[in-house]
Structure 1
Amino acid sequence: MSEIERYQDHAPARQGDPGLTAEDVARRLAKIQTLQGDDEAAHGEEDLLHRDVLAAIAAGAPDAQLLAAAALRTETLDFSRWCA
């Protein structure tokens, strides 16, 4: 691939799909918070959230800055993040 292609070209939104919302991110943050006692599960959910927010932004989310800021709140949660 010589150029980076637009995300929408590969994963178009479904008709009537409002996309990821700040409320969705808040719910997922709350879920991650409840998982803080299980580092692996919390870290996995954090990675999924960050990926989903990036995908929403790449797809043209109108509230991209809000979504990104909300997702970065996972940094305030206390659990170990391991990389292999």
Structure 2
Amino acid sequence: MTVDDVREFVEEIRLSADDDEVAHSMEDELYVAVLQAIVNGADNPGKLAAEALRTKNIEFSRWCA
């Protein structure tokens, strides 16, 4: 996983923000993917995490049933 991959995923989430459930699921998926990349020895874990956390600036409802 690269920083560009994360940026693209964040943009996909931004484009899906009109559907809270989809956006929230995608956000969770991104976080798991970034954590897995870090566990697998990503060269730039801090940058990956920082880019992933940009999803917190996207407005959509985050809730769990």
Shorter chain as denominator, the TM-score bin is over 0.9
How large is the RMSD of aligned CA atoms in angstroms?
0.5
Answer yes or no: is 1:79 the counterpart of 2:60. yes
**What TM-score results when the alignment is normalised by the length of structure 1?**
0.76
Paired residues in the alignment total: 65
State the AA in 1 paired with 2:36.
A
Structure of larger gyration radius: 1
**What TM-score results when the alignment is normalised by the length of structure 2?**
0.97
The answer for the alignment partner of 1:11 in structure 2 is none
Task: Mark the runs of 5 or more structure 1 residues left unpaired by the alignment.
Answer: 1-19
Instruction: Kindly indicate which of the two structures has a greater share of residues assigned to helix.
Output: 2
Query: SS at the partner of 1:80?
Result: coil
The answer for the alignment partner of 2:21 in structure 1 is 40
Answer yes or no: is 1:24 the counterpart of 2:5. yes
The answer for the alignment partner of 1:65 in structure 2 is 46
The answer for the alignment partner of 1:15 in structure 2 is none
Deviation at 1:83, TM superposition (A): 1.2
Sequence identity (%): 48
Query: SS at the partner of 1:32?
Result: helix
The answer for the alignment partner of 2:35 in structure 1 is 54
Alignment partners' CA distance in 1, 2:11 and 2:51: 11
Name segments (4+ residues, structure 1) moved above 3 Å: none
Task: Mark the runs of 5 or more structure 2 residues left unpaired by the alignment.
Answer: none
